[in-house]
Structure formats: C-alpha cells, structure tokens
Structure 1
Amino acid sequence: MKGSVQNSRRGLVHLSMVIFGLVILLGACTVEKSEEPVEGDKVVEPTPSGKDNAGESAQSEHGDWHAPGLVDRSGAPIEVPAPGPAAGKTLDATDFGADPEPNSHDDAAAIREALAAAEPGDEVLLPAGTYDLRSTDPDDESANIVLRSGVNLRGEGQERTVLLTSFDGEEDSRVIRGSGIHDVIVSNLTITSRYKGPLGDDTDDNDAGGGPMYGIFFGAREGKASSRILVENVGIRKFERHGISVKASREVTLSGNHVSEATAIGPGGQGYGIAIEGLANQHNPNATNDSRHNVVIGNTFDGRHLRHAILLQFPTHNNLVAENIIVGSRLDAIDLHGEGEYLNEIRDNTVIGGHRAGIALGNPGGSKNKHDASGPGNWVHSNNLIGNRQGILVILGTPKTLIEENRITAGEDSKAGIEVRNAPGTLLRGNHITGGIDGFWAIQLRKDRGSDGRGEGIPSRIKIEYNVIRQAANGIKIDAGQDLSIIENVMEGIDGEKLRVADGIAVSRSAQQSHPNEM
C-alpha cells in the first residue's frame, strides 16, 4: 500500500508537469456564474487572480498550492499517513453478545459495546458470519455503528463477515459513521441491507431507493476533519446515496474495496460508489476541515447500478484517484462534479463500457443542484479507457487541465476519444487513441452550450500535441475555438478524415513534419 502511494508521485518529477503547475492561477478555483446567457461565441473564463467580490485577495484565499496530487504546498511529494495494525488487544464482538448466525437478534448493540470497551490501539474483531444491525447508536439515530479514534474494526474477509442493516430509506442513515475521528482501520467485511426491491437503473427517477443512505460515512466534528483513516477490502452494496462518503476530511485512504448495487441512481446525489467532498463554501486550505490528500486506489466497481463510480465534489484538492477498475457506470464513471475541484491527480485507472464519459471534468448538475466548472490544474494521465461514450470530457469552463498519456480505445457506441468544449488552457499531450466507427472522432473540440447560461463558450488556448491516433474512424475535428495549436500528432490507419477544421477557425500547426503521417 505504502509503495503504491509513493509510486504515484513518479510523474511529478517530469519537467512538463512542473512547468504546468507553475502557471496555474489558484485564484481561479471557482468560476463566475453569470445570471445571463453568454452571447455568441464568448469564452467564459475562470475568475482571475486578484480581488474577489469582497475586495480580498483570491490568491491568499486559496493558499499557495501549485502542483497536483499528493504534494505539499511547495510541490514536494508527500506520503499520506495511514494508521498501522492494532498494537493492543483484540476484542471479539461475539464475547459481547454478537451472534454471527443470520437472522439473529440485534447484533449492533454488542458491536457498539465492544467498541466502547476498547482502548486506543485495540481492535474489535467480527468473526466470519452475518451480523444483523437492527438498532441505532443511542447518541445518533442515523447510525448503526459509530467509530472511535484509535480503535479498528476488522472482519475475517470481505466475503466472510457481513453487516446486514435494517435501514430502509431513512434520511441520512449510515451503517458506519466516523466524525472527527483519527487513526482507524475498517477492513475485511461487507456492508449490505435487507432491501429486496429493484436496483437503480434510471438516472432520471427521483422516487427509487431503499436501504441505508450511506454504507460508510466520514466527516468533520465541530470543524475538525476525520484523518488518518484506512478502509480496506470492504464490500458495499444495496445503498441509496454513497457507498463510501468522505466529507470535509483528509488523509483517508480507500483501498481494495468493491462497490456495487445502488438502489437508486437518480438526480440529487444517488448512486455514487465513492464520493470525496469538500464543503460547498469552503475555499480555505488552512482550515482544519479542508478536504485534501485523500487516496482512492485499487478499488473495483460494478457500475451497472451506479450513477458515478468515483466522484470528487466541491473545492476538494490534491487528492489521488489511481489504479481503480470500473465496468459499466451509468453516467460519467470518474466525475469531477463541477464545484471547483482542483489540483487532483487521476491516473492509471481502467474504465470499461461506461454509458457516458470514462473521466469527466465539469458537470451541469440538475434542476435542484446547479453545477458548472471544475477547478484548475487537475492532472488526468496514464488511464486505460475502453468503450466509453467519451474517453475524457472537459466542459463548462473547467480551466488548465493536463490530459496526457492516456490510452483510449473506442467501441461501437463511442462518440469521441477526448472531447473538449469550454475548457480554457487545456493541454492534450501524448495520448494514444484507437478504434471507433462512423462518426467517432479521436479528438473533438466543439462549442459548449452551457447549462442555463452557466459555462457557455468555445474552446480557447487549447494545445493538441504529440498524440498518436491509429486505426481510428476519424482523427481530429475542430468545430469551434480560438488560439488553438496542433503540433506533431501521429495519424496512421485512419478510415475517414485525419483533420477537419470548420470554416473561419485559425489553427497554429507545427512547421516540422518528421513523419509523413504527422499532423
């Protein structure tokens, strides 16, 4: 685990990444929301560094974070601290009255009693079996089990120890909750519910649902974040909103978990596999509940009944999403949700057969929750994206995204390998794109219609360089844009057109043509 996180920083020594990080304007972490639609092809720019509406410095508001991923303010790589194995006693929950036989009496009270008896450094063990959670914590009616700092909760295997909750649609219900806690491991078990109804399959259905709202929930308490948490080898299914929710917390590592079978995938936050969130109005990296340095690594997702597999939302920053495998998400599989998420690293993930984008930056939201742009400086690289509608999608004014060295294979229903709309300063470099039929384009730039006037505009300051497009239906299509450059992209085995540029659009092209198939 430690080695995987350390290896995630190898790319940061790449000179190009350092240069890219230096030009990021952190004052641009939010996008101005215009009350009126944008006229014509006007580009919607992020709020510039300088003075905000209150006359204060936007740069100081966001601190001095400059480089993406697991780094400190100076840009130096860090190792996210994780709790170690229990060094104290092992308390067996069955000694406190928990019964591992299915359909027994309430086992939640016995598990809570074992946790209360533990000291920091101890662990509570749930031997193989099924534990029926029928009651809630006396001090928190929303949770079956409330975690304590320094006390681990361990089962005997993801398929062997099962927590079966009786929650069924109760608002904010959580099987396991930790608020303002630190140094805790939850491992080797499955969380599910008694829900017997259909699983979520309609992204517009507001009425579906059942089971608990959250499988595991970590948040702040009295302004203090949860931190130094590890959730490892946990299965979560039959939940309504989030399988694992991490809100206003930091240094939470989620590794080797499997999430599936949401009971609803409608608008308003249903059916998210793992969600990492800041606070909606939190723009201060110095706050004790600033959301950063969380790690989502090596998890698997059956996306047939998930709206999004992995979601980052609100001004959460400097997180790592890596080495996850996602199959068949109903909307964008890895989604930066259009609320100012910035300087996150998304790398080495595999996304297969998504109904929408494999990775998306920016989201319009819905009628209730209106979103727009993600923040600046996100780094999307080295991902393997197969058979999604778009491999990567950047929209609604999301600025300064670096998209490089991704491997994108189109399927029969794919529309674009990389699609860029209003996304000022986006750099596409060294990506390998193949496949597709008919109207598929490896790279497409197009006008962004926005959402109710938010984020409308055209691509601007876009660089497309050193990409390799082979055995693809079509190459690069530019329907809109300004200040665009195309440099030394390799095209081989293209069935249709290599390059189509709409009338009236000026594109700067490389003067060097070292290969007959380079653009």
Structure 2
Amino acid sequence: MRRRCGIALGLLVLTLSACTGDAPAPARPTPEATTGSPTGPRAGLVATDGTPVDVPVPDPPTGSSYDVTELDADPEPGTGDDAPAIREALATAGAGDEVVLPAGVYDLRSTDPDDAEANLLLPDGVRLRGAGQGATVLRTSLDGEDDSAVVRAMGVHDAAVAGLTISSEHTGALGTDPDDEGPGGGPMYGVQIGDGSRRILVEDVSVELFQRHGITLKGTREVTVTGCRVADATSVGPGGSGYGIAVEGMADQRDPDAGDDSRHNVVVDNHLDGTHLRHGILLQFPTHNNLIAGNTIDGGVLDAIDLHGEGEYLNEIRDNTVTDVPAAAVALGNSGGEKHRHDASGEGNWVHDNRLVGNLQGVLVILGTPDTLVEDNDIVGSRGSAVGIELRNAPGTVVRDNSVAGGDADFWAIVVTEDEGTDGRGAGVATDVLIAGNRVTGPANGIDVEAGRAIEVTGNSVDVDGTPVRVSPDAEVRGVSGTR
C-alpha cells in the first residue's frame, strides 16, 4: 500500500500559484523547450534538425490489377489452400500494380518457398487489397511456429496492405493472464514489417487470433498504420505476447544515421479491443519521433499505450482515447523484461490532448524516464482508479494544463512519489519537476507530493471534496500557495 504522509492544507477550493501571480499560458513548446533547450530536437514528426516531416504513403495503384480468383483462389472457406494463387499474383505484380482479393475467406495452408515461416511476402510497390475488414478474410493454419507471420514485408518500399481481416484456425482459449505464457497458438504475427522497410501503408486491416503482435514494425521508417482493428491475442504472457500494434527500434541501436534506425512511423485512428491484449500500442527500444494519435483502446491487461523502458524518445502521444484499463492508460518506463531488462524510456516524449477514462492510472512516468511533457490531457477517474498522473523517478517532467476529475475517496489527481526501482534499476525520487496550471475537480483528492527534490507546484486550480494538497516534510517543494 502506498505510504501517505505529509501536511494537509485544509482548503476545499485551492488555487496554487507562484508569488508573482498566474502568468498567461505560453504557446505550446516542445518538450526540450520546456526543459531549457529550445533549439534542441522536438517530439513527433520532425527531423533531427527540428524541421517538420511529412510522412508519405504509397501512391494509389496505376498499373495492372490481379484478381486472385482468376488464378484459382477460392473465396469459399474450407476449399483447399489459397496461398499459392495469392503468391502467384504477388510474384507477377510489379510496382504500381495491385493484387485484389474479392470478398470471401481464403485459407492459407502453406508458406512461401523463400520463407518457411510466412504465408505471404509483400513485394516492393504492390498493394494487397481486400474488400474490407470482415469481407475479405485471410485464415491461416499457422499455429505457434517461431517467427511465423501471415503477411511479411522485409526491406520493402512503397507497398500496402488494405481492406482485409487476418485470422487463424485457432479455436482454443485466449490469453488473460500476464504471468502465464499460455495458452498460445495461431501465427506469431499478423502483419510483420521490418528490416529497413519504408513508405508502407497498413490500412483498414483487422488482426485476431495471433500470439505475439497483431501488427509489428521493427527498424522501419515512414510506415503508416491507420483504420485498423486488433483484438483477441491467444497469449498475453511475458516475453512479448499479446501486443496489438508494436513499433520497435533495434536493441542498443540509437543512431539516426543508421539504416535500421526506427523513426517517423505513424499509428493513427486505430481501434484496439484490449480484453485479450497485454498492451494495446507499444513502443520498444530506441524508436523515436513517431506519432501515436487518435487511437481508441478499450480495456486491456497491462498498460494500454506503453513506452517499454528501453530508450524510446521524442515520440508524440496525442488525441488518443483509453478507457477501463486496470493499469496505466499511458506508461513511460517499464519494470519487466526477460531477454532485455527494462527500465527508463528515453527523453522528450510528449503526451498531450488524450482522453483517459476509468483507468487505474492515467499517465505513469517511472524508473528515471527524463524530460517528459504531459499536458492538456483530460483524465477522469472512476471507482477503482488510483491516480490521474503519477510520477516516480521522473526527472525533468512537466505536468501542466491537464484536467483531472472524478474518482472515489481514495483517488488522487497528481502524485509524486518515490520509485523503488526494479531489481536495482531506476530507483530514486523525481527531481526538477513542474506541476502547473492543472485543473482538479470532483469527490477525490488533489495533489500529493510524497518525495522529490526541486518540485515546483504553481498555478493549479484544485476544487475537491477530499484533501486538496498534501506535501511530505521529506519532499523539497517550492511555489505552493493558495487561496479559496
């Protein structure tokens, strides 16, 4: 149980401001500008020199169209192996062509001659297009094979997968226990893109009945995942199972000039049903300057949008809606890991304008994750929610202009507390934190500073039924003052 100690300031309606009074809110800066480096790089879709990046998507098809049913693919379910016909169409198509899968169910019972673990290989410049989610279904017989994938694109440019559902023949139980590797089954990956692939579009694709990642990007640039749905992983256990959409860099690789540097990927307007997902959207290893925006995540097993504690930096997380997760809606830093031991995410991530409702925590920053900007989020607690925004060892974090409401009598809007670390990694207290301009209302409690050094609390509006502000005598806090 969290230790609660300190001095309660017994005002039911409290405004916290610096002695100079409330200043007008400045124009939104970058995270680096907030932490004293206005000329440094910025979060989101910008280049290393700070100039905006317009992420391109492949051009619409301009060449031939290949209907797989004309190559003996049968859209009736259970009529044989349709994979050879689809592979023939993909091999015949050239840049600017499309391979069309009319409505129906296509059974994939064999793998590609050039890749024994993938049903279909996406070539350069080709669009693989179905008739829409639910209308066109690729149903694979892959069942737990290592590194197996239904659609794989490695080192591919200017290609697309659109308008289809990827499923499997798995009929067993689905994953619910994050500590259990089972039950498992189905392909490891639905759509797997990697090895330097660029300018790829994954649009209007549904993935279900997979084991590891529904849609995964590793070592990619300028890949857009939009309008997709991911649900129903067969495992949510440790070691990488049950991720909805994953964006990964390479372990121990942080070189913007490297060919496999992961950046400028776009994950927008997707729907994740988290009932059987360990994480809805995950960023892992030093991937940077990606945009995660406008996604909807309903429920989940662990943190919904998770920066996985392996150096992920300068990413923008905005305009997402996350509801009813029994963990954090957005988490920066992670205490897990088997092969790669996790701790802090990287610097300068920007979490803003998200709506986070009914989660255990709204935003969680831990294990030494530095210089995060958390602003303009709408966070609503419900029965069982613990904290709106929680900072542990989170040096240089700025929390400002957020709205936190709701919760029950045990809920706190903003908490700064000590980090016990994980196996000795990331332990400590937050330093140089700014909490400013936040609006806190409802039946719960306001701001609780249990630990930390150089914590500035200023210009916040707190109107709660519980304790407005509590400050531990062990914490170093400045700028706290208030009036009714």
Relative to the length of structure 1, the TM-score reads 0.86
Is the CA contact 1:24–1:400 (under 8 Å) kept in the aligned structure 2? no
Paired position in structure 1 for 2:212: 241
Is the CA contact 1:24–1:377 (under 8 Å) kept in the aligned structure 2? no
Shift of 1:355: 1.1
Paired position in structure 2 for 1:504: 474
How far, CA to CA, are the matches of 1:24 and 1:363 in structure 2?
Answer: 26
How far, CA to CA, are the matches of 1:419 and 1:489 in structure 2?
Answer: 16
Which letter maps to 1:79?
D
Is the CA contact 1:377–1:402 (under 8 Å) kept in the aligned structure 2? yes
From 432, 445, 467, the equivalent of 1:474 is: 445
Which letter maps to 2:284?
Q
Work out whether 1:426 is the aligned partner of 2:397: yes
1:359-395 per-residue CA deviation (whole Å, 9 max, x = no partner) reads 0000011444310000000000000000000000000
Work out whether 1:252 is the aligned partner of 2:220: no
Work out whether 1:372 is the aligned partner of 2:343: yes
Paired position in structure 2 for 1:454: 425
Which letter maps to 1:382?
D
From 120, 125, 129, the equivalent of 2:95 is: 120
Which letter maps to 1:506?
E
Which letter maps to 1:501?
V
Q: Where does structure 1 lack aligned partners over 5 or more consecutive residues? A: 1-13, 27-63
Paired position in structure 1 for 2:55: 80
- Percent identity of equivalent pairs: 55
**More displaced 10-residue stretch of structure 1: 17-26 or 191-200:** 17-26
From 327, 337, 340, the equivalent of 1:356 is: 327
How far, CA to CA, are the matches of 2:443 and 2:66 in structure 1?
Answer: 59
2:48 partner SS: coil
Is the CA contact 1:80–1:293 (under 8 Å) kept in the aligned structure 2? yes
Paired position in structure 2 for 1:6: none
Work out whether 1:205 is the aligned partner of 2:175: no
- Aligned Cα root-mean-square deviation (Å): 1.5
Shift of 1:472: 3.9
Paired position in structure 2 for 1:58: none
Is the CA contact 1:252–1:293 (under 8 Å) kept in the aligned structure 2? yes
Paired position in structure 2 for 1:232: 203
Q: 1:401-420 alignment to 2 at 5 Å?
A: 401-420=372-391
Bigger strand fraction: 2
Paired position in structure 2 for 1:20: 32
Paired position in structure 1 for 2:21: none
Shift of 1:506: 2.8
Paired position in structure 1 for 2:9: none
From 316, 319, 326, the equivalent of 2:297 is: 326
Which letter maps to 2:62?
A
How far, CA to CA, are the matches of 1:506 and 1:200 in structure 2?
Answer: 44
Shift of 1:16: 4.0
1:175-211 per-residue CA deviation (whole Å, 9 max, x = no partner) reads 0000000101110000000000001001000232000
Paired position in structure 2 for 1:216: 191
Work out whether 1:347 is the aligned partner of 2:318: yes
Which letter maps to 1:176?
V
Residues 215 and 65 of structure 1: CA distance in aligned 2, closer, same or farther (over 3 Å): farther
From 158, 162, 171, the equivalent of 1:183 is: 158
Paired position in structure 2 for 1:144: 119
Shift of 1:75: 1.4
Is the CA contact 2:302–2:325 (under 8 Å) kept in the aligned structure 1? yes
Work out whether 1:295 is the aligned partner of 2:285: no
Paired position in structure 2 for 1:396: 367
Residues 18 and 305 of structure 1: CA distance in aligned 2, closer, same or farther (over 3 Å): closer
Residues 510 and 438 of structure 1: CA distance in aligned 2, closer, same or farther (over 3 Å): closer
How far, CA to CA, are the matches of 2:40 and 2:331 in structure 1?
Answer: 23
Q: Where does structure 2 lack aligned partners over 5 or more consecutive residues? A: 1-25
Shift of 1:15: 4.1
Is the CA contact 2:453–2:476 (under 8 Å) kept in the aligned structure 1? yes
Which letter maps to 1:67?
R
Work out whether 1:307 is the aligned partner of 2:319: no
Residues 72 and 171 of structure 1: CA distance in aligned 2, closer, same or farther (over 3 Å): same
Shift of 1:282: 0.9
Which letter maps to 1:119?
G
Which letter maps to 2:301?
R
Work out whether 1:66 is the aligned partner of 2:41: yes
Residues 65 and 165 of structure 1: CA distance in aligned 2, closer, same or farther (over 3 Å): farther
How far, CA to CA, are the matches of 1:137 and 1:24 in structure 2?
Answer: 53
How far, CA to CA, are the matches of 1:368 and 1:183 in structure 2?
Answer: 33
Residues 481 and 22 of structure 1: CA distance in aligned 2, closer, same or farther (over 3 Å): closer
How far, CA to CA, are the matches of 2:31 and 2:227 in structure 1?
Answer: 33
Residues 404 and 22 of structure 1: CA distance in aligned 2, closer, same or farther (over 3 Å): closer
Paired position in structure 2 for 1:464: 435
From 394, 402, 414, the equivalent of 1:443 is: 414
Residues 412 and 272 of structure 1: CA distance in aligned 2, closer, same or farther (over 3 Å): same
Is the CA contact 1:65–1:72 (under 8 Å) kept in the aligned structure 2? no
How far, CA to CA, are the matches of 2:61 and 2:247 in structure 1?
Answer: 26
Is the CA contact 2:414–2:447 (under 8 Å) kept in the aligned structure 1? yes
Residues 23 and 440 of structure 1: CA distance in aligned 2, closer, same or farther (over 3 Å): closer
Residues 338 and 329 of structure 1: CA distance in aligned 2, closer, same or farther (over 3 Å): same
Is the CA contact 1:213–1:240 (under 8 Å) kept in the aligned structure 2? yes
Which letter maps to 2:240?
G
Is the CA contact 1:21–1:68 (under 8 Å) kept in the aligned structure 2? no
1:393-451 per-residue CA deviation (whole Å, 9 max, x = no partner) reads 00000000000000000011110000000010000000000011121100001100000
Which letter maps to 2:242?
G
Paired position in structure 2 for 1:31: none
Which letter maps to 1:423?
A
Shift of 1:65: 6.6
Shift of 1:510: 5.4
How far, CA to CA, are the matches of 1:214 and 1:446 in structure 2?
Answer: 38
Work out whether 1:270 is the aligned partner of 2:244: no
How far, CA to CA, are the matches of 1:125 and 1:237 in structure 2?
Answer: 21
Paired position in structure 2 for 1:173: 148
How far, CA to CA, are the matches of 2:475 and 2:40 in structure 1?
Answer: 35
Residue correspondences, number: 459
How far, CA to CA, are the matches of 1:399 and 1:451 in structure 2?
Answer: 17
